[in-house]
C-alpha cells in the first residue's frame, strides 16, 4: 500500500509517498496547482504498485483544487483535520517545520490510520455556492458594522443622538431610516436653524420621497432633540462631505448584503430539505439559508452526535482516577460560523417565545432552573441540532426511498 501525503499551500503543494516500515516510494517533490502538473501527478499515482491513498489536510480552501481534481481522476483522497495531523508523531525533541517534513508526516499518518481514512467527497455546486455566499455575507456584515460605528462617531460630533431617533426596521434594499436621515439632515443646525413648522414640512416631504412613514409627532421630537444638542464640528461643506461619504458607504454595503441574502435564499430553495428547515422555529429567511450552508448535507454525519461535535457545542468527558468533572466547557473544535448561526437562532427563539416549540421549552426550563446564560444557550444549540438531524435526515431518507 502507498500512502501519499500532500502538504498544501497556496498555488502549490509538496508531495511525499511512503510505504510501511519507512520505505520511501518518492522523495518529497513540488507540484503546482495547474491542470498539466496535476495530470502528471495523477498519472504518477496511478502507476504505483498496490493500493494508493492520498491524504491532505482539511485547511481553508487551498486543498480543494488538488483534492477535487484527483478525486475525479479516480484516486482515493482523504481530507484530514489539521489538528489530527498536528498531534500525530511528535516524538522528537527537535522542532522541524518544513514542507518536505510535513508531507512525510502526513504520509506516515495515512499509513498508521489506513483503515479509518474516510474518502473525500466534493460538495455539490449548490451547497458550495451557498456556503461561499454565507461566508461573503458574514464578511460584508462585519464591514457594515464597522461603517455604522464610524458614522455614529461622526454624528456624535455633528448631530449627537441622531442614530437613536428612529427604530424602523431596514427596508428590503438594506436602507435604514436613521442612516438616510443623516444624509439629509447631517448636522443638528440643519434642523435647529429652521422653524418647527418648516422642519416638519421638510421632514414629511423627505419621508414621502424616501419611502418612510410620515409623522408630525416624530418631526417634533427630532426638532426638540436637535435644538438641545451641542455639536463639535462646524456646519460647513467639509463636514457635510464626511457624513455623506460615510452614509454612501453604508448604503452601498447594505445593497450588497441585500443582494447576497436574495441569492442565498434562491440557492437554499433548490435544496431538498429547504421546506423542512424553514418550518423550524427560530429559522427565518436569513438564518435558514445560513444554517443549511454551514451544515451542508446532513447525510454525511453517521450520528446526531457527529453533527453536534462538528458544531463544537459538545462537552467532552474529563475523568482521571476517582475524579470526574461535572463542570465542562464545550470543545469549540468545530465550525465557528455554525456556532454563531445557532446562537442567533437561540436568541430568536427567546425573543419570539413559541410555547409549542420543544427547543424553547427546553431553554425556558433550564433558565428557570437558574442555569447561567451561556450554559442554557449552548444546551439549546445542542438540542436544536439533534432535532435538526432527525427531521432533515429522516426527510431525505424518505425522498431517497420514494425515488
If asked whether residues 135 and 252 sit together in one domain, one would say yes
Burial of residue 399, with CB atoms counted within 10 A of its CB: 0-12 exposed, 13-18 middle, 19 or more buried: exposed
Q: How far apart are CA 88 and CA 86, in angstroms?
A: 6
CATH number at residue 250: 1.10.287
- Give this prediction's pTM: 0.84
Q: Provide the domain limits for residue 389.
A: 274-402
If asked whether residues 117 and 134 sit together in one domain, one would say no
Q: Please state, in angstroms and as integers, the Cα–Cα distance from residue 40 to each residue in 44, 58, 148, following that order.
A: 6, 23, 51
Residue 265 located in a structural domain? no
**Count of domains observed in the chain:** 3
CATH number at residue 75: 3.30.420.40
If asked whether residues 160 and 242 sit together in one domain, one would say yes
Domain boundary pick from 104, 122, 140: 122
Residue 322 pLDDT: 64
| Vertex 118 angle, CA 112 and 123, to 5° | 145
pLDDT band at 317 (very low <50, low <70, confident <90, very high): low
If asked whether residues 301 and 349 sit together in one domain, one would say yes
Residue 264 located in a structural domain? no
The answer to whether residue 89 scores a pLDDT higher than 80 is no
Residue 183 located in a structural domain? yes
Domain boundary pick from 194, 224, 258: 258
The answer to whether residue 137 scores a pLDDT higher than 90 is yes
CB 53, CB 21: distance < 8 Å: no
Q: How far apart are CA 225 and CA 235, in angstroms?
A: 17
Stronger pLDDT, 22 or 8, i.e. the higher one: 8
Q: Using one digit for the tens of pLDDT, what is the confidence trace for 241-287?
A: 999 999 999 999 999 999 999 999 999 999 999 999 999 999 989 99
Residue 179 located in a structural domain? yes
If asked whether residues 306 and 357 sit together in one domain, one would say yes
If asked whether residues 149 and 169 sit together in one domain, one would say yes
Q: Using one digit for the tens of pLDDT, what is the confidence trace for 217-239?
A: 999 999 999 999 999 999 999 99
Q: How far apart are CA 387 and CA 383, in angstroms?
A: 6
Q: How far apart are CA 67 and CA 122, in angstroms?
A: 8
Residue 15 located in a structural domain? yes
Residue 267 located in a structural domain? no
Q: How far apart are CA 226 and CA 307, in angstroms?
A: 53
If asked whether residues 89 and 152 sit together in one domain, one would say no
Amino acid at each position: 500500500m502507498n500512502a501519499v501525503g500532500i502538504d498544501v499551500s497556496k498555488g502549490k503543494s509538496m508531495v511525499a509517498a511512503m510505504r510501511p516500515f519507512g520505505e520511501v516510494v518518492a522523495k518529497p517533490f513540488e507540484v503546482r496547482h495547474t491542470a498539466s502538473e496535476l495530470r502528471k501527478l495523477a498519472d504518477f499515482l496511478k502507476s504505483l504498485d498496490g493500493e494508493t491513498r492520498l491524504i491532505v489536510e482539511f485547511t481553508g480552501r487551498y486543498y480543494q483544487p488538488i483534492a477535487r481534481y484527483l478525486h475525479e481522476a479516480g484516486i482515493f483522497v482523504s481530507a484530514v483535520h489539521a489538528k489530527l495531523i498536528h498531534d500525530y508523531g511528535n516524538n522528537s525533541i527537535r522542532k522541524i517545520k518544513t514542507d518536505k517534513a510535513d508531507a512525510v508526516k502526513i504520509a506516515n499518518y495515512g499509513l498508521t490510520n489506513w483503515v479509518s481514512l474516510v474518502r473525500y467527497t466534493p460538495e455539490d455546486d449548490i451547497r458550495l455556492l451557498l456556503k461561499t455566499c454565507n461566508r461573503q455575507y458574514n464578511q460584508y456584515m462585519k464591514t457594515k458594522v464597522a461603517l455604522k460605528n464610524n458614522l455614529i462617531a461622526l454624528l456624535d460630533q455633528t448631530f449627537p443622538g441622531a442614530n437613536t431617533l428612529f427604530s424602523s426596521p431596514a427596508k428590503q434594499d438594506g436602507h435604514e431610516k436613521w442612516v438616510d436621515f443623516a444624509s439629509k439632515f447631517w448636522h443638528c443646525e440643519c434642523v435647529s436653524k429652521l422653524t418647527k413648522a418648516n422642519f416638519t414640512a421638510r421632514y414629511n416631504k423627505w419621508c414621502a420621497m424616501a419611502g418612510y412613514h410620515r409623522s408630525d409627532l416624530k418631526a417634533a421630537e427630532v426638532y426638540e432633540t436637535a435644538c438641545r444638542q451641542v455639536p463639535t464640528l462646524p456646519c460647513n461643506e467639509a463636514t457635510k462631505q464626511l457624513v455623506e461619504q460615510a452614509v454612501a458607504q453604508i448604503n452601498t454595503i447594505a445593497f450588497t448584503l441585500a443582494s447576497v441574502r436574495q441569492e442565498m435564499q434562491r440557492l437554499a430553495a433548490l435544496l431538498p430539505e429547504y421546506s423542512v428547515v424553514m418550518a423550524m422555529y427560530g429559522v427565518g429567511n436569513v438564518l435558514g439559508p445560513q444554517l443549511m450552508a454551514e451544515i451542508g448535507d446532513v447525510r454525511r454525519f453517521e450520528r446526531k452526535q457527529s453533527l453536534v461535535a462538528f458544531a463544537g457545542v459538545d462537552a467532552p468527558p474529563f475523568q482521571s482516577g476517582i475524579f470526574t468533572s461535572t463542570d465542562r466547557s464545550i470543545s469549540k473544535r468545530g465550525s465557528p460560523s455554525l456556532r454563531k448561526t445557532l446562537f442567533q437562532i437561540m436568541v430568536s427563539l427567546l425573543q419570539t417565545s413559541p410555547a409549542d416549540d420543544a427547543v424553547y421549552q427546553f431553554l425556558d426550563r433550564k433558565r428557570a432552573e437558574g442555569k447561567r446564560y451561556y450554559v442554557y444557550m449552548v444546551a439549546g444549540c445542542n438540542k436544536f441540532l439533534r432535532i435538526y438531524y432527525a427531521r432533515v435526515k429522516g426527510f431525505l431518507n424518505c425522498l431517497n426511498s420514494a425515488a
